[in-house]
Amino acid sequence: MKKMKIYEGVNTMYNSGLLKFKKIGSPSNKEFGYLTPIEEMEEIPFTIKRIYTIYGVGQNITRGMHSHKHLHQVLICINGSVDIRVENYFGEKKYTLNDPSVGLYVGPDNWREMSNFSEGTVLMVLASEKYDSDDYIRDYDDFIDYSKKKYEYGGKR
Ligand code: T46
């Protein structure tokens, strides 16, 4: 994992926060628009092994509701808007993603919930590992127990 400057959330949360990407273009040149380059180990603090997109989600749907033991991810809302609630042993925080030049880094041991998808939302996720169903903790009580055992006595991250 590469150390990245996380510009929001770093004081309140361990292991998650917003990453601001470069936005090439200018408001005075509306016709050109913008371009946001994203490279692994540059804007993204890990090697990207998998990309998936979430789209076509109904408005009253909540997705996620699990944590990961080892997976690092960056969530980028490339169209529309979605709320992401992240919770870990140290606290919780809610983010609204609605800008393709912003990514939400979510590391291991974070419970995540995605809700309030606007119509047409496309959420792209860059992941540090290939899909592994054994990496998920899908039961909230198991997540709490796992986190307590890992962090309660100042356990290592
Ligand atoms: C996460 C949030 C942000 C695959 O076969 N391959 C994949 O790479 C993924 C991500 C999922 N799947 C299958 C597993 C399930 O049968 O797709 C189905 C839906 O997956 P899930 O219920 O885990 O989807 P979400 O939207 O609740 O969670 C996903 C990711 O799984 C998760 O890692 O952090 O998006």
What pLDDT shows up at residue 154? 65
pLDDT band at 30 (very low <50, low <70, confident <90, very high): confident
142: helix, strand or coil: helix
pLDDT, one tens digit per residue, over 102-133 is 999 999 999 999 999 999 999 999 999 999 99
Catalytic residues: 66
147: helix, strand or coil: helix
Distance of CA 80 from the midpoint of ligand 1 (Å): 20
pLDDT tops 50 at residue 94: yes
Lowest-pLDDT range, 22-31, 70-79, 147-156?
147-156
Using the atom order of ligand 1, give the atom closest to the CA of residue 71: 33
Domain-by-domain residue ranges, the chain?
A: 16-151
Residue nearest to ligand 1 atom 28, measured at CA: 64
Distances (CA, A) of 121 to 16, 35, 58: 22, 19, 10
Distance of CA 92 from the midpoint of ligand 1 (Å): 21
Structure tokens at 154: 């100042």
pLDDT tops 60 at residue 11: no
pLDDT, one tens digit per residue, over 31-83 is 999 999 999 999 999 999 999 999 999 999 999 999 999 999 999 999 999 99
- 122-127: strand order across its sheet: 16-20, 102-106, 73-79, 122-127, 50-55
Distance of CA 133 from the midpoint of ligand 1 (Å): 9
pLDDT tops 70 at residue 9: no
pLDDT band at 156 (very low <50, low <70, confident <90, very high): low
32: helix, strand or coil: coil
pLDDT band at 8 (very low <50, low <70, confident <90, very high): low
Q: Quick one: 16-151 is in which CATH superfamily?
A: Jelly Rolls (2.60.120.10)
Q: What is the pTM of this model?
A: 0.93
pLDDT band at 18 (very low <50, low <70, confident <90, very high): very high
Distances (CA, A) of 26 to 21, 30, 31, 92, 152: 15, 7, 10, 35, 48
Mean pLDDT across 3-21: 70
